[in-house]
Amino acid sequence: MTDNAPGYPFGDGTGLALEPEYGRLRAEEPVSRVQLPFGGRAWLVTHHADVRKVLTDPRFSSRATTANPDGPRFTPQPLFPAGVMSMDPPEHTRIRSLVSRAFTGGRVEALRPRIAEIAGGLADAMLEKGPPADLVSMFALPLPVTVICELLGVPYADRDRFRELSDALLSTTALPPEEIFAAVMALNEYLAGLIEERRAEPRDDMLSDLVRARDEDDRLSEQELVEFGVGLLVTGHETAATQIGNFIYMLARNPEQLAALRADPALVPQAVEELLRHTPLGAVSGIPRVAVEDVELSGVTIRAGDSVIPSINSANHDESVFEDAHRLDIHRPSNPHIAFGHGVHFCLGAQLARAELQIALETLLIRLPGLKLATDGDADLAWKKGLLIRGFSELPVTW
Amino acid sequence: MSEANWKVEVTGACIASGMCVGTAPAYFELDGDRNRSVPRSARPAPDPLLLSVADSCPLEAIRVHDAGGTLLAPLD
């Protein structure tokens, strides 16, 4: 009866226009069966209210996804049982609370001057080199990479090594499974090595804090420590780096919005919220959950054991919540987007990402006021493909 | 309600991340219309989970005081 479940994701992850299937499903079948790249079928949930429900209702479990390592998923490798993304409260609360205070409002505010200094230095280098330049390698990537390296205590000199492994970790179909497995192992070994260094010689950084939480207070296992370090390093830069490039592209393609922002840079914080809502970062949109009992959602009964994909991209384009949802409108008065997720897995680094994105836009608007794409159409743009996220491998700009 | 009960409030900084609702559904619920979280009880009995939730709020929007008015979480 569900033999016609369409394949998901709907596209290959290139382009920032949300695939039309989402709009059709929201209108006709807001909870529908889809076929994932690995492990079978899942329910795709597309309404804002239903997505928020899946993300906060404890009957939809992250931990239960690890009970069946071959279950429906987006990556050939199973979810890591010791990773925070596969945990439910209270074990999730135990791990996350080790660092959550470092990422909350006040602490992030204190980091702003340093983030602005890094961004300013990158803008200087672009101006010195002169146009055209690749925004990804000269600005979008080094800004968040430098910030997370300094916070965690990862040597910036190692960036080429962990960058390549990070992209492999986010691969769905970009690489053969054995290459992904090898990258997972290599990244774990890399973090394990840094952890040993901090154990021998603690410093004033987050890795040293986590080692102390492990060794002195026994608050997490060695494997959890390594996985958490990997998670912080990868998600701590890939997301913001990707969205800086995506946001500049979106603004270039919406010149009246860009002009409004240039005329009044005080609009940057709300423009960032609208860009977060409108720009689909995820190519697959949402990490699977598994129902631990039967749950009804928009008239559909989801059975215990079924996998569920809460689509954040679709929720952020739900017309019942966002008027003219397809329009990028930096003046949007109310913006309850869930770009950072919702519930216990709400992005740990959301406030840091906001600060980085705001500072990135401010710096680029002010220091390179004539900034524009160096390509005419979309045909020449270099997209990443087959990853969990959408974005550019290069973005040529001029000014 | 015991006189030892704590005081819990969600401030205007709340952005409805859902962190507290997901972690401690017995203590918090989402007000979808106002897009923010509200405590189910402003004077709950003492529970360490409330401190952990207040420490985990990305916006530091949850304030937990003891009966005497001393701030228990979040603390720096």
Does A346 sit within 8 Å of B60, measured CB to CB?
A: no
Residues of B in contact with A336 (CB under 8 A): 16, 35
Read off φ and ψ for residue A381, nearest 5 degrees.
Answer: -75, 140
CATH number for the domain spanning B62: value is 3.30.70.20
CB neighbours of A221 closer than 8 A, spacing ≥ 6?
A: A82, A214
Q: CB distance from B13 to chain A under 8 Å? A: yes
- Give Cα separations from A393 to A119, A136, A140, A381, A396 (angstroms): 20, 7, 11, 9, 10
Instruction: Please answer yes or no on whether B55 and A49 come within 8 Å at the CB atom.
Output: no
For chain B, the average pLDDT equals 93
Looking at residue B75, its pLDDT comes to: 85
> What pLDDT score does A1 carry?
46
Closest Cβ–Cβ partner in A52, A58, A100 for B18: A52
Q: What SS3 class is residue A389?
A: strand
Mean pLDDT of A123-143: 98
CA distance A349 to A356: 10
Asked if residues A154 and A194 have their Cβ atoms less than 8 Å apart, the reply is yes
- How many angstroms separate the CA atoms of A129 and A117, rounded? 19
Which residues in chain A are closer than 8 Å to B60, comparing Cβ atoms? 104-106
pLDDT recorded at residue B33: 83
The answer, for B72 touching chain A at a CB cutoff of 8 Å, is: no
In a domain? residue B60: yes
Q: What is the mean pLDDT of residues A282-290?
A: 86
Each residue's pLDDT tens digit, B10-26: 999 999 999 999 999 99
Q: Mean per-residue pLDDT for A321-347?
A: 96
CB A59 within 8 A of CB A304: no
Closest by CA to B14, choosing from B73, B54, B70, B69, is B54
Tokens, residue A166: 């990070």
Q: Give the pLDDT mean for A90-100.
A: 89
**B34: in domain:** yes
Q: Is A399 helix (H, G, I), strand (E, B) or coil?
A: coil
The confidence score (pLDDT) of residue A3 equals 60
Confidence of residue A46 (pLDDT cuts 50, 70, 90): very high
- % of chain B at pLDDT higher than 90: 84
Mean pLDDT calculated for residue range B47-76:
93
Question: What does the pLDDT read at residue A107?
Answer: 87
* Measured torsion, CA atoms of residues B61, B67, B69, B70, in degrees rounded to the nearest 10: -80
How many other CB atoms are found less than 10 A from the CB of residue B26? 10
Closest Cβ opposite residue B58 in set A49, A56, A351: A351
What rounded mean pLDDT belongs to chain A? 94
Tell me what the mean pLDDT of segment A354-361 comes to.
Answer: 98
DSSP structure string for A169-213? HTBSSSS-HHHHHHHHHHHHHHHHHHHHHHHHS--SSHHHHHHHH
Residue range A172-193, pLDDT digits in tens:
888 998 999 999 999 999 999 9
Q: How far apart are CA A216 and CA A214, in angstroms?
A: 6
| Distance from the B43 Cα atom to the nearest Cα atom in chain A, whole angstroms | 23
Quick one: pLDDT at residue A105? 78
A309 pLDDT more than 60: yes
Q: Label residue A124 by pLDDT band (50, 70, 90).
A: very high
Residue B1 has pLDDT above 80, yes or no: no
Containing structural domain, residue B36: 7-73
Q: Using a CB-CB distance cutoff of 8 angstroms, which residues of chain A are in contact with residue B24?
A: 89
Q: Are A56 and B16 in contact (CB < 8 Å)?
A: no
Residue A297 has pLDDT above 70, yes or no: yes
For chain A, give the percent of residues with pLDDT over 90.
Answer: 84
Residue B29 lies in a domain: yes
- The answer as to whether B12 is a domain residue is yes
The pair phi, psi for residue A291, each rounded to 5°, is -70, 130
- Interface touch B58/A97, C-beta < 8 Å: no
B39 domain residue, yes or no = yes
Among the listed residues A126, A148, A150, the one whose alpha carbon sits nearest the alpha carbon of residue A137: A126
Who has greater pLDDT, A46 or A76?
A46
Whether B2 is covered by a domain: the verdict is: no
Residue A8, min C-alpha distance to chain B (Å): 27
Please give the class, per CATH, of domain A20-398.
mainly alpha
Quick check: A219 and A94 in contact, CB under 8 A? Answer: yes
Q: What pLDDT sits at residue A151? A: 96
Asked whether residue B1 is domain-assigned, the answer is: no
B5 touches chain A (CB under 8 A): no
Residue type, A86: S
Give the residue on B whose Cα is nearest the Cα of A87: B23
Q: What DSSP designation does A100 have?
A: G
Nearest-Cα distance to chain B for A207, in Å, is 19
Chain B environment of A93 (Cβ under 8 Å): 23, 49, 52-53, 56
ipTM: 0.91
Count the domains in chain B: 1
Q: Do B30 and A56 touch (CB under 8 A)?
A: yes
**Angle between helix A255-263 and helix A350-367 axes, rounded to 10 deg:** 90
> What does A117-156 look like in DSSP terms, one character per residue?
HHHHHHHHHHHHH-SSEEHIIIIITHHHHHHHHHHHT--G
Q: Would the pLDDT of A106 be above 80?
A: yes
Question: In the predicted model, what is the mean pLDDT of residues A12-39?
Answer: 94
**Interchain pair B22, A56: CB under 8 A:** yes
Mean pLDDT of A362-383: 92
Asked whether residue B24 is assigned to any structural domain, the reply reads yes
- Mean pLDDT calculated for residue range A298-326: 97
Number of H helices, E strands in chain B: 2, 5
Residue A79 reports pLDDT greater than 80: no
Where do the domains of chain A lie? 20-398
- Residues of chain A whose beta carbon is less than 8 angstroms from a beta carbon of chain B are 49, 52, 55-56, 58, 89-90, 92-93, 96-97, 100-101, 103-106, 334, 336, 340, 342-348, 350-351
Mean pLDDT, range A332-345, rounded to an integer: 95
Half-sphere exposure of A117 (CA within 13 A, CB side): 7
- φ, ψ of residue A2 in degrees (nearest 5): -115, 30
